[in-house]
């Protein structure tokens, strides 16, 4: 039986600094998680987790792009509509 669950984690209109803080807090949490995974894998197996290494690169790229876009939105005096939905699927 496959089921999907969706949860609205973020929903609202924010200033660029507010939106950046909310999103970056989540990204930084994921960066911390993958840094711990890399350290743990290095200790246990003598090499870093390739998956965590790849995700760290992706998350750092996302972080850089978000910072650029939020700065641009701030210079334009814009507000941002942010929606974040988490989907969880039960799989076999």
Amino acid 49: pLDDT: 93
The whole-angstrom separation of Cα 32 and Cα 3 is 29
84 falls within a domain: no
Residue 28 belongs to domain spanning? 17-78
Amino acid 92: pLDDT: 78
3 falls within a domain: no
Q: Which residues pair with 82 in a beta bridge?
A: 12
User: pLDDT tens across 29-50, in order?
Assistant: 999 999 999 999 999 999 989 9
5 falls within a domain: no
48 falls within a domain: yes
Within its chain, how far is the Cα of 41 from the centroid?
Answer: 21
35 falls within a domain: yes
Count of domains in the chain?
Answer: 1
Name the average pLDDT for the chain. Answer: 94
Q: Which residues of the chain have pLDDT under 50?
A: none
């Amino acid at each position: 039986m496959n089921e999907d669950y969706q949860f609205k984690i973020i929903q609202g209109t924010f200033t660029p600094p507010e939106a950046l803080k909310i999103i970056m807090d989540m990204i930084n949490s994921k960066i911390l998680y993958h840094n711990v995974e890399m350290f743990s894998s290095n200790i246990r197996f003598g090499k870093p987790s390739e998956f965590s290494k790849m995700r760290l690169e992706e998350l750092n790229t996302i972080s850089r792009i978000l910072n650029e876009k939020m700065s641009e939105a701030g210079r334009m005096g814009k507000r941002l509509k942010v929606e974040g939905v988490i989907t969880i699927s039960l799989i076999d």
